[in-house]
Amino acid sequence: MQVRSDATSVLKGGAMSQLPQLQDAYLLISSGRIQDYGPMAHLPEGIQFKHHIPAQGRFVFPSFIDSHTHLVFAAPREEEFVMKIKGATYAEIAAKGGGILNSARKLQQLSEDELFERTLPRVREIIRTGTGAVEIKSGYGLTTKDELKMLRVARRIGRETPLTVKTTFLGAHAVPNGYSKSDYIDLIIKDMIPAVAEEKLADYIDVFCEEGFFTPEETERIVEEGKRFGLKPRLHANQLARSGGVQAGVKTGALTVDHLENIGEEEIELLQKSNTLPVALPGAAFFLRLPQAPGRKMIDAGLPLVLASDYNPGSSPSGNMPLIIALACIQMRITPEEAINAATLNAACALELQHDLGSITRGKVANLFITTPMPSVAYLPYAFGSSLVETVMLNGKIIADEQPAPKK
């Protein structure tokens, strides 16, 4: 069982390789929180258990925290996946109505209830693979009404399902048809941000700071306006090119810069001197056949790497965090311990949830999962195609349980 007696700050560099574990241990949950743990030999006597979950041969992990997703969307885009296999470029797909604007068109046609219903199966799926908290971005609305609709659905997921949800306003995801970029930025600043803030629909603001989308200067302008309304920045940066996204993030005090497939020494040095957390998204690089972000290099440079799924219908159609961790281990050459810390405690810090989530620590919320019987922590990414999450507990309640019934 992974436990940490003190776990309210990010793990940087070498500290990420430490994953403290108790073997043959007990864990007491009370009122939805972790009350105590220790070796079985020290289990206090006389405790009256309401429920008792045996876990022989199994591992207890803190639930994953997925700090970058686009979980609320209308429909998958597998037809674009096939176009890309056949060699279509991003521009060709866009010309055929594909890409972000494709998702926006479909989402705009749905009611808030329909959008919620379409998102629920994905919520159930990520819970089933071990995720307990998730960040959800807007950005497939691209009108004030539809951006608000997306964020309301994201908030509703946080209220009506066991997932802990943080929301991010990403109006600046793409420029919708019929707008010049500067007119659309005006709409974001004058209309969308105040409306989002008025309804308290977002915790953060994000901008797709990439070549062909929003420049670092435009990003700074949008983000500074968000900050005036209490929205902290987190940025899409350096996915497609060395676009200055990391610089814009550090300059505006962003909590995170996400993607980072295209960074060099300069960006790493900037991050070393800042509190901005680097978030790598291995599912997107894998699915788009791009080189992975230099996760190994960032950890070796002492940075506090974070891993997230980027679950979205265009570039990373999976929120399966064990598989994301396997991709990171295989394609970035980071160790299982580093990857698990990047997807739990460091990810909690990336969503400012580290006081309640991200580790099995006395007093934190009981968000955890029990694996199937397995020989070691490293088995989780090694067995990259296996479903190893057997029992899921969120907020101290069993949500899913596939442990076989005891033989009679």
Candidate residues 378, 395, 400, 403; the one interacting with a second copy per rule CB under 8 A: 378
For position 278 contacting a second copy by CB under 8 A, the verdict is no
- Within 13 Å of residue 30, how many CA atoms lie on the same side as its CB? 9
- Site residues (CB under 8 A) for a second copy, limited to 54-93: 75-76, 78-79, 81-82, 85-87
CB of 106 to a second copy, least distance (A): 12
- Residue 22 in tokens: 């108790």
Query: Restricting to residues 15-54, which ones interact with a second copy according to CB under 8 A?
Result: none
Structure tokens, 318: 């999976």
8 A C-beta contact, residue 191 and residue 169? no
Binding residue (CB under 8 A) for a second copy from 127, 202, 305, 323 = 323
Ordered strands of the 397-401 beta sheet: 60-62, 368-371, 389-394, 397-401
Residue/partner pairs of 176-179 with CB below 8 Å, 24 or more apart:
176/101, 176/104, 176/142, 176/143, 177/101
Contact call for residue 383 and a second copy (CB under 8 A):
yes
77/236 with CB nearer a second copy = 77
- Name the residue nearer to a second copy (CB basis): 106 or 221: 106
- Helix-then-strand count for the chain, H and E: 16, 15
Which of residues 149, 319, 345, 391 is near a second copy by CB under 8 A?
Answer: 319
Contacts with a second copy by CB under 8 A: the residue count is: 39
Q: How far apart are CA 69 and CA 318, in angstroms?
A: 10
94 binds a second copy (CB under 8 A): no
> Considering only CA atoms, which of 40, 65, 132 is closest in space to residue 352?
65
385 binds a second copy (CB under 8 A): yes
Query: Which of 35, 108, 331, 395 is in the footprint of a second copy by CB under 8 A?
Result: 331
* CB 388, min distance to a second copy, A: 10
Write down the least CB distance from residue 382 to a second copy, Å: 4
Is residue 329 involved in binding a second copy (CB under 8 A)?
A: yes
